[in-house]
Amino acid sequence: MPELPEVETIVRLLRPDLVGRTVLAANVRWARTIAFPSVRTFKRQITGQVIQGVTRRAKFLHLQLSTAELLIHLRMSGDLALKQPGARPSKHDRLILLLAPAGRSASSQAPSTPASAARDSIINLVFNDTRKFGRVWLTKDARDVTGRLGPEPLERRFTVRRLYLALHARHRQLKPLLLDQTFIAGLGNIYTDEALHMARLHPLARADSLTERQARRLHAAIRTTLREGIRRNGASIDWVYRGGDFQNHFRVYDRAGKPCPVCATKIKRLIVGQRGTHICPHCQKV
């Protein structure tokens, strides 16, 4: 599943080509992709909307439209790409939005032929999803979908003190808590393992047992790991996301049996909260 760095990378790649464009039409090729509203209402309400911004909230892509909000969660295998209108849809394309050039209205940009579409730079935004887990919401208020999410770990408001107090308000094992999107938004299996190793913390440690010093290390490790992931355009390993190379710089994730980059102890794989987890037994003691 794409995590914060992968989604942020997609947002940064798409934003220059999407802002200012008008949605001419929506082709919903698998109805369950649309989580809300109904497909008929979705197609009616999104037509004519102008894309005013492209951002991210946790693992959601967030398109701010002229009178609505479009939220996309890629889940396990989702991907977004821009394609020419004449391109034949692929087997796993679930939603296709036909977009007019920036500054052009839907009424003035209805396509006629592939040649004129190419000249006018009309383009398709395509949501491809092999496993069909991804979902799309069209709503008046994005908080209807994201309202229960925890703080963004790269924002200023996510302070060491806030993290320390939040940890001590929970009586849970550390890794499952960090994966809880209502606790911190955007962390997944990869970046949690990487951050815990950097912070020298065991995933089975009790959250409310951490000292303030340990919380400070964890705070720094989370932010450093996420920023490095973004700098390297995310990780490209077990899903369709393309172009990242953070997987070539993992400390522990998916490196069972290989040496720890700090102490050379063999990395161990264990199961924590039903998730494959990678640790250094020497650097990360319970």
Give the rounded percent of residues in the chain with a pLDDT score beyond 90: 86
Query: What is the chain's Cα-based Rg?
Result: 21
User: Does residue 117 register a pLDDT over 80?
Assistant: no
Q: Exposure pattern of 25-44 as b/e (b: 16+ CB <10 Å)?
A: bbebbeeebbbeeeeeebbe
Would the pLDDT of 273 be above 80?
Answer: yes
pLDDT at 85: 87
- The model's confidence at residue 197, banded by pLDDT at 50, 70 and 90, is very high
Mean confidence (pLDDT) of the chain: 92
- Over residues 142-169, the mean pLDDT reads 97
Query: Residue 106's pLDDT is what?
Result: 47
User: Per-residue pLDDT for 202 more than 60?
Assistant: yes
pLDDT at 178 over 60: yes
Binned at pLDDT 50, 70 and 90, residue 86 comes out as: confident
Max intra-chain CA distance, the chain: 65
- For residue 25, the cross-strand partners are 98
| Residues contacting 56, CB < 8 A, separation 6+ | 4, 7, 8, 11, 62
Averaged over 218-247, what is the pLDDT?
87
Give the model's pLDDT for residue 90: 92
Tell me, what's the pLDDT at 77?
A: 86
Rounded to two decimals, the pTM is 0.90
Residues paired with residue 210 on neighbouring β-strands, in sequence order: none
pLDDT at 118: 38
Q: How confident is the model at residue 244 (pLDDT cuts 50, 70, 90)?
A: confident
Lowest mean pLDDT across 16-30, 62-76, 146-160, 224-238: 224-238
The two tokens of residue 272 are 């924590």
Phi, psi of 173 (to 5 degrees): -65, 150
Q: What is the model's pLDDT at position 76?
A: 84
Q: Is residue 109 pLDDT above 60, yes or no? A: no
- Asked if pLDDT for residue 116 goes beyond 50, the answer is no
pLDDT tops 50 at residue 122: yes
For each of the domains in the chain, give its residue range(s) and CATH number, in order of start. 4-146 (3.20.190.10), 160-279 (1.10.8.50)
- Active-site positions read 2-3, 59, 275
Say if residue 207's pLDDT is above 70.
yes
Please report the pLDDT score of residue 152 as a whole number: 98
Query: What does the pLDDT average to over 24-40?
Result: 98
